[in-house]
Amino acid sequence: MYGLYLEKDEVVQITISVAAISLALGIVFAGADGMLAYPREFLFFLAPLVVTVGSGFILHEMAHKLVAIYYGAQAKFRMWTQGLLFMLATSFFGILFAAPGAVYIYSNKISKRQNGIISIAGPALNVVLMLFFIALEFLAPIRQFFSFLLLSGSDFAPFGIGGGVLSVWRFGAAMNIMLALFNMIPAFPLDGSKVFAWNKFIWIGAVGALLVLGALIISPGIVIGWGMMLLLFLVLSKLLFG
Ligand SMILES: [Zn+2]
């Protein structure tokens, strides 16, 4: 078995990725105009994003890493600089392309089944975190007001944003379901492609369960939104990776 520990450069790359994903998401919700109009509030807004979405991102990647190590592979998080910059660029258009990097697995003896289980561990972790945030929403709700959310707030009601108020845990639950659904798209190099290659029925079951959860927690419209994302990524993946 290889080392469980994180190397220093890996910690640096994870930290940069979490900062970037939180910043990109902040820009998606505040808009460039909101960020410039209320820079101090924007900085405070990044804290709940790191806690709910940054943690969802780190723990998702660490779930892949730990399962891969369990199977005797070496696994390292590697930042993807182009993807990170692309994510920041698209955030100005209100789109979060949540792929600043990924865990790379170094082994020549990982089976399709093991690779599928390593891959599904990430989205599964997001579901666990979603349940945790739903529990927190009932036990210790946190509401924070941000002026810039008032400008666009009504658009984000399904994500726990309304009247300029962010319901932190409800937002965290919605975003973790989104992270899981995004990653389960069966287009290379997303997790879904490896789960699909391992077992189509498990993929269908997992996506079906996630869509039901998404419809309940966010809105039924998420099913159509995910379907459109699926088509887009299947086309993009074909164009980029053949
Ligand atoms: Zn993943």
Q: How far is the CA of 176 from the centre of ligand 1 (A)?
A: 12
In this prediction, residue 4 carries a pLDDT of 57
20's tokens: 């970037």
Confidence (pLDDT) at 203? 97
Residues 160/171, Cβ–Cβ less than 8 Å: yes
Task: Confirm whether 137 is a catalytic residue.
Answer: no
pLDDT digits (tens, 9 = 90+) for 65-101: 999 999 999 999 999 999 899 999 999 888 887 778 8
Q: Average pLDDT of 128-157? A: 90
Burial category of 28 from C-beta neighbours within 10 Å (exposed 0-12, middle 13-18, buried 19 and up): middle
Q: Exactly one of 7, 41, 61, 137 is catalytic; name it.
A: 61
Q: Is it the case that residue 241 has pLDDT exceeding 90?
A: no
Summarised one tens digit per residue, pLDDT across range 143-192 is: 999 999 987 666 788 899 988 999 999 999 999 999 999 999 998 889 99
How many C-beta neighbours within 10 Å does residue 141 have? 11
Q: What is the pLDDT of residues 22-71, one digit of tens each?
A: 999 999 999 889 999 999 999 999 999 999 999 999 999 999 999 999 99
Distance, CA 223 to ligand 1 centroid (Å)? 20
Q: Quote the tokens at residue 139.
A: 């036990």
Band (2; pLDDT cuts 50, 70, 90): very low
Give residue 14 CA to ligand 1 midpoint distance, Å.
14
Q: What is the mean pLDDT of the chain?
A: 91
Beta-bridged to residue 161, according to DSSP, are 166
Comparing 241 with 217, the larger pLDDT belongs to 217
For residue 153, the model assigns a pLDDT of: 60
Give the pLDDT confidence score for residue 184 in this predicted structure.
Answer: 96
pLDDT band with cut points at 50, 70 and 90 for residue 108 = confident
Rg (alpha carbons) of the chain, rounded to whole number = 18
Indicate the pLDDT class of residue 3, thresholds 50, 70 and 90.
Answer: low
Distance in Å, CA 116 to ligand 1 centroid: 11
CB neighbour class for 227 (10 Å; exposed up to 12, middle 13-18, buried from 19): exposed
